[in-house]
Chain A
Amino acid sequence: MSSYEARFKVWRGDVEGGGLEDFKVEVNEGEVVLDIIHRLQATQAPDLAVRWNCKAGKCGSCSAEINGRPRLMCMTRMSVFTPEETITVTPLRAFPVVRDLVTDVGFNYTKAREVPSFVPPAGLGPGEYRMMQEDVDRSQEFRKCIECFLCQDTCHVVRDHEENKPAFAGPRFLMRVAELDMHPLDAATESGLDRKSTAQDEHGLGYCNITKCCTEVCPEGIKITDNALIPLKERAVDRKYDPLVWLGNKIRRRV
Chain B
Amino acid sequence: MSVVDRQEWDVVVVGAGGAGLRAAIEARERGARTAVICKSLFGKAHTVMAEGGIAAAMANANPHDNWQVHFRDTLRGGKFLNQWRMAELHAQEAPDRVWELETWGALFDRTKDGRISQRNFGGHEYPRLAHVGDRTGLELIRTLQQKIVSLQQQDFKETGDYESRLKVFQECTVTRVLKDTASSSGSAAGRVSGVFAYDRETGRFFVLEAPAVVIATGGIGKSFKVTSNSWEYTGDGHALALLAGAPLLNMEFVQFHPTGMVWPPSVKGILVTESVRGDGGVLRNSEGKRFMFDYIPDVFKEKYAESEEEGDRWYEDPDNNRRPPELLPRDEVARAINSEVKAGRGSPHGGVFLDVSTRMPAEVIKRRLPSMYHQFKELADVDITAEAMEVGPTCHYVMGGIAVDSDTAAARGVPGLYAAGEVAGGMHGSNRLGGNSLSDLLVFGRRAGWHAAEYAAAQAFERPPVDDVQVDAAAAEALRPFSAESPEEGTPENPYTLHQELQQTMNDLVGIIRREGEMEQALETLAELRVRARRAGVEGHRQFNPGWHLALDLRNMLLVSECVARAALERTESRGGHTREDHPAMERTWRPVNLLCQLADPTGGLAATDPVRGQIDLLRETTEPIRSDLLALFDKEELVKYLAEEELYE
- Chain A residues contacting B42 (CB-CB under 8 Å) are 109
Q: Answer whether residue B288 sits at the interface, using C-beta atoms and an 8 A cutoff.
A: no
Given contacts A77-B378, A98-B201, A136-B110, contact A59 B543 (CB under 8 A): no
A42 to B133, CA, bound (A): 36
User: Quick one: which of A31, A53, A105 contacts B46, CB cutoff 8 A?
Assistant: A53
- Whether the pair B113, A130 counts as a contact (CB closer than 8 A) is yes
A26-53 interface (Cβ within 8 A of B) = 28-32, 35, 41-42, 46-53
- Whether the pair B375, A56 counts as a contact (CB closer than 8 A) is yes
Given contacts A41-B546, A100-B544, A143-B132, contact A130 B114 (CB under 8 A): yes
- Whether the pair B107, A112 counts as a contact (CB closer than 8 A) is no
**B-side interface residues, number (CB < 8 Å):** 69
- The smallest beta-carbon distance between B158 and chain A, in angstroms, is 15
A139 to B546, CA, bound (A): 37
User: Quick one: which of A47, A112, A180 contacts B539, CB cutoff 8 A?
Assistant: A47
- Please name the residue on chain B nearest to A72 by beta carbon: B378
Given contacts A51-B41, A130-B114, contact A143 B378 (CB under 8 A): no
- Whether the pair A127, B495 counts as a contact (CB closer than 8 A) is no
- The smallest beta-carbon distance between B550 and chain A, in angstroms, is 9
Q: Answer whether residue B335 sits at the interface, using C-beta atoms and an 8 A cutoff.
A: no
- Whether the pair A143, B544 counts as a contact (CB closer than 8 A) is no
Q: Answer whether residue B353 sits at the interface, using C-beta atoms and an 8 A cutoff.
A: no
Which of B114, B153, B541 has the largest number of chain A CB atoms within 10 A?
B114
B252-275 interface (Cβ within 8 A of A) = 263-267, 270-271
- The smallest beta-carbon distance between B622 and chain A, in angstroms, is 39
Given contacts A53-B46, A56-B271, A98-B544, contact A75 B266 (CB under 8 A): no
Q: Answer whether residue B96 sits at the interface, using C-beta atoms and an 8 A cutoff.
A: yes
Q: Answer whether residue B497 sits at the interface, using C-beta atoms and an 8 A cutoff.
A: yes
User: Quick one: which of B48, B58, B263, B496 contacts A30, CB cutoff 8 A?
Assistant: B263
Q: Answer whether residue A238 sits at the interface, using C-beta atoms and an 8 A cutoff.
A: no
- Chain B residues contacting A143 (CB-CB under 8 Å) are 107, 132, 138-139, 142
Which of B42, B100, B105, B162 has the largest number of chain A CB atoms within 10 A?
B105
- The smallest beta-carbon distance between A81 and chain B, in angstroms, is 15
User: Quick one: which of A48, A75, A124, A183 contacts B379, CB cutoff 8 A?
Assistant: A75
- Chain A residues contacting B149 (CB-CB under 8 Å) are 112-113, 117
A191 to B558, CA, bound (A): 54
A204-240 interface (Cβ within 8 A of B) = 221
- Whether the pair A99, B544 counts as a contact (CB closer than 8 A) is yes
User: Quick one: which of A59, A118, A127, A140 contacts B132, CB cutoff 8 A?
Assistant: A140
- Whether the pair B132, A55 counts as a contact (CB closer than 8 A) is no
Interface residues on A, range: 35 or more
Q: Answer whether residue A102 sits at the interface, using C-beta atoms and an 8 A cutoff.
A: yes
The 0/1 profile, CB within 8 Å of A marked 1, for residues 152-166 of chain B is 110010000010000
- Chain A residues contacting B490 (CB-CB under 8 Å) are none
Q: Answer whether residue A54 sits at the interface, using C-beta atoms and an 8 A cutoff.
A: yes
Q: Answer whether residue A24 sits at the interface, using C-beta atoms and an 8 A cutoff.
A: no
Given contacts A41-B546, A46-B495, A126-B100, contact A132 B110 (CB under 8 A): yes
A59 to B348, CA, bound (A): 30
Given contacts A56-B270, A140-B132, A144-B135, contact A46 B379 (CB under 8 A): no
Given contacts A61-B41, A113-B162, A140-B107, contact A30 B49 (CB under 8 A): no
Q: Answer whether residue A70 sits at the interface, using C-beta atoms and an 8 A cutoff.
A: no
B96-122 interface (Cβ within 8 A of A) = 96, 99-100, 102-105, 107, 109-110, 113-115
- Whether the pair B99, A129 counts as a contact (CB closer than 8 A) is yes
A84 to B459, CA, bound (A): 65
- The smallest beta-carbon distance between A215 and chain B, in angstroms, is 16
Q: Answer whether residue A25 sits at the interface, using C-beta atoms and an 8 A cutoff.
A: no
The 0/1 profile, CB within 8 Å of A marked 1, for residues 527-570 of chain B is 00000000000111101111110000000000000000000000
A139 to B109, CA, bound (A): 11
- The smallest beta-carbon distance between B169 and chain A, in angstroms, is 12
- Chain A residues contacting B185 (CB-CB under 8 Å) are none
A14 to B541, CA, bound (A): 12
- Chain B residues contacting A29 (CB-CB under 8 Å) are 264-265
Q: Answer whether residue A171 sits at the interface, using C-beta atoms and an 8 A cutoff.
A: no
- Whether the pair B41, A58 counts as a contact (CB closer than 8 A) is no
Given contacts A56-B271, A58-B135, A147-B43, contact A133 B109 (CB under 8 A): yes
Q: Answer whether residue B380 sits at the interface, using C-beta atoms and an 8 A cutoff.
A: yes
Given contacts A31-B266, A42-B497, A126-B102, contact A55 B230 (CB under 8 A): yes
- Please name the residue on chain B nearest to A145 by beta carbon: B142
Q: Answer whether residue B231 sits at the interface, using C-beta atoms and an 8 A cutoff.
A: yes
- Chain A residues contacting B95 (CB-CB under 8 Å) are 127
Q: Answer whether residue B525 sits at the interface, using C-beta atoms and an 8 A cutoff.
A: no
- The smallest beta-carbon distance between B548 and chain A, in angstroms, is 7
The 0/1 profile, CB within 8 Å of A marked 1, for residues 362-380 of chain B is 0000000001001100111
- The smallest beta-carbon distance between B181 and chain A, in angstroms, is 36
- Chain A residues contacting B46 (CB-CB under 8 Å) are 53-54
Which of B41, B135, B500 has the largest number of chain A CB atoms within 10 A?
B41
Contacts A98-B201, A147-B44 aside, 16 further interface pairs with beta carbons under 8 A come to A30-B380, A31-B264, A31-B266, A32-B379, A47-B538, A47-B540, A53-B230, A59-B40, A104-B201, A113-B152, A117-B146, A120-B103, A127-B95, A129-B103, A143-B107, A144-B135
Q: List 17 A-B contacts (CB under 8 A).
A: A14-B543, A42-B494, A42-B497, A46-B494, A46-B540, A47-B546, A54-B46, A58-B49, A59-B230, A99-B544, A105-B41, A109-B42, A117-B149, A130-B113, A130-B115, A132-B110, A140-B132
